[in-house]
Amino acid sequence: MALHERMLVEQLSLVILMVGVYVMLGSVITTTVAQALPQALPGCPDKCGNLTIPYPFGIGVNCHMAGFPIICNTSTEPPTALWGNIIVTAFSLDEAEMQVLQYIARDCYDKQGNNTYNNDPWLSLPPPFTISDTKNKFIAVGCDTYALFKGFRGEERYITGCISFCDSLDSVDQDSCSGVGCCQTNIPSGMKNRTVELTSYNNHLDIWGFNPCSYAFIVEEGEFKFSNKTFQQLDSLENVPMIFNWAIGVEEDPCDEAQKRQDYVCKGNSTCVNPINRSGYVCKCKKGYEGNPYHPNGCQDIDECSLPNINPCTNGTCSNLPGSHTCLCPTGYTIDSVNGTSCLKNPPTSNNNSLKISVGVIAAFFVLLVVFFCLYCGRKRRQFKKQQEKFFKQNGGLFLRQQLASYNGSVDVATIFTEEELRKATNNYNEYRKIGEGGYGVVYNGNLSADHHNKVVAIKKSKVSAPITETQSLEFVNEVIVLSQIHHKNVVRLLGCCLETQTPILVYEYISHGTLHDHIHRKDNKYPRLPLDLRLKIAADTAEALSYLHHYTEPPIIHRDKYTAKVGDFGASKLVPDQDEGQLSTLVQGTLGYLDPEYLQSHILTAKSDVYSFGVVLVELITSQKALSSNKKSEVDRNLANVFVRAMKEGCLDEILDAEIAKEGEGFEKVVETVADLANRCLKLRGEESVGVTCGY
């Protein structure tokens, strides 16, 4: 069976250890490349199972040079790296080598001398890959064996081989492949293909009892050991490791010419090398550098001073330099003038006592410094703890704890979180956790601990740190209790708060689908364009949520911020009485562009304040424009509500509508006209002239 056919049907044995036959299929070729440095191109897999895949090899499109593709077969355990259909077990950038597994040629006979099995594996490599002549040996095993190794070196045909005979197992040379039971020969340089052929002079008739088969193979030197047990062991051995050489390009003497071309691949801090007896060129890191010379990042400086278990400067201080290092000697020492790698102590003087006193003073000072530092840190921790307790009391923590205890688990109310819990949940409020930012606060994505069921939450932290009065703290506690009991499909639920900071931190349920602002104004694949029917559903959901807050909560809640299909973000605010009515309104922390003009004049919030903001959202939905645009010259034109009202008055609404909505088919004009009319009514300047949310819904 041909080699490439057998590779598709025979399974790989990862490790085979035998007495007398030593084969390491998973051996790692020595390399100086630091594994911590990048090996694969950015965005490309760098491993297949336990094997690191260094560029110019690579897995996937645009991850390798032409001729160096690797396929990772994940159906095996561990996954197997394939170059074409050849199994790869190791790479060496320093030696420009690749270790692969190749199959063994067999020629077997029965007791009557009839041939029962014969295969002649063949191999053909594309340039610039060759079979290594310095790392491989051709070996034949058998006591009636004639083995040939055929191939081409360039255009010239090449045939070599060896003969092995013996009469009994006792005549076999132990631990020596010298021609009795085992023979070997060298591999010619520059060979790109080979075929192994086996035959027998006497069909193994005289030796069939202990040696019915002949074997031949090319194997990495040092990976095969012969003994009188090898005949039996080779019967179950499928393949052996072999070394391929590789290079870049196919020219005979390419370095001088390759460096002038644009496709020259040796990167920073590397040099071009012409391999002996091979075409193409290879890249190597310069002395004092390590890494992948083919990688875009090139070779990186070796910091000799930070190498573990190595002191390159005996008695001195090592100072790293690009590609090298130098030694700085302390007082009383002089650098070695021979190799510069150590500091030699100066001849003794009469200053030994002074030196001891100096060392003692320095040591005592250092001990005192450590003691004072520990005392300082302990004091700071105590001050911080007291400050947390102060803020907790100041923000109504004791009152909130008392109120929550009174419910005794009868309803699902707010949770009091510690500042440490929220810091851990947000990785100390790391920037990558930030998911939103408004005029007064920043919202972070957080993962709570197992004590809180590993829940994913949104954590709103105020940008402003200002103390609050006792009255305000009690009102804040009331707000938290009221909001945490709201359960509605279109209202983001308040889960709890942290009162250990100057301004309380709020914890909401996390909504993973993004905000309305994201879906309308961000132009990327994560947030595809919203069709008209979905925009109308968002408007309806928003109206339903606001109607619920205004009419079905006790007391009613007035909201002052932006909307999604779930209304959320009530601000780090306190509930305050609204005039003579029994309504509650979250202290205004809304986004500019959504605040109604009547509030800006009177500073009085009503339910109609939310109607105005709802009208702005409706205009956003049909125009896909931002509520407040900073790139407009006119102050009036920066406000979307002003632009819309003026367009309605002048009958030129089409000029500001989203052009994509017009492409959605018949009937859109009537729908948009209805939405625009409702938005216009919501944006009436005076609260008594605008419609209610229930009416709008």
Helix (H, G, I), strand (E, B) or coil at 161: strand
Question: 139-160: b or e for each residue (b if 16 or more CB lie within 10 Å)?
Answer: bbbbbbbbbbbbbebeeeebee
Q: What is the largest CA-CA distance in the chain?
A: 117
Angle formed at CA 630 by CA 624 and CA 631, multiple of 5 degrees: 85
DSSP 306-351: G-TT--SSBTSEEEEETTEEEEEPPTTEEE-TTTSSBEEEPPP-TT
Say whether the peptide bond before residue 56 is cis (omega within 30 degrees of 0). yes
> What is the amino acid identity at position 121?
P
DSSP string over 384-401: HHHHHHHHHHHTTHHHHH
Count of CB atoms within 10 A of residue 650's CB?
9
CA distances for 529 relative to 511, 516, 523, 616, 686, angstroms: 19, 11, 8, 19, 34
* Active-site residue flag, 561: yes
Beta carbons of 105 and 117 less than 8 angstroms apart: no
Token pair, residue 548, equals 């619920």
Angle between helices 607-623 and 640-650 (to 10 degrees): 70
The answer to whether 424 is a known ligand-binding residue is no
- Contact indicator for 459, 507 with CB cutoff of 8 Å: yes
- Cα distances (angstroms) measured from residue 557 to each of 64, 532, 549, 553: 61, 30, 5, 7
CA 559 to chain centre: 40
Q: Out of 107, 133, 561, 596, which one is annotated catalytic?
A: 561
Place of tokens 């150590």: 342
Phi and psi of 517, rounded to 5°?
Answer: -60, -40
List the alpha helices (DSSP H) in 413-461: 419-425
Asked if 201 contacts 145 with a C-beta cutoff of 8 angstroms, the reply is: no
| CB 635, CB 642: distance < 8 Å | no
Give binding residues as ranges. 461
Give binding residues for ATP as ranges. 461
- Residues assigned a catalytic role: 561
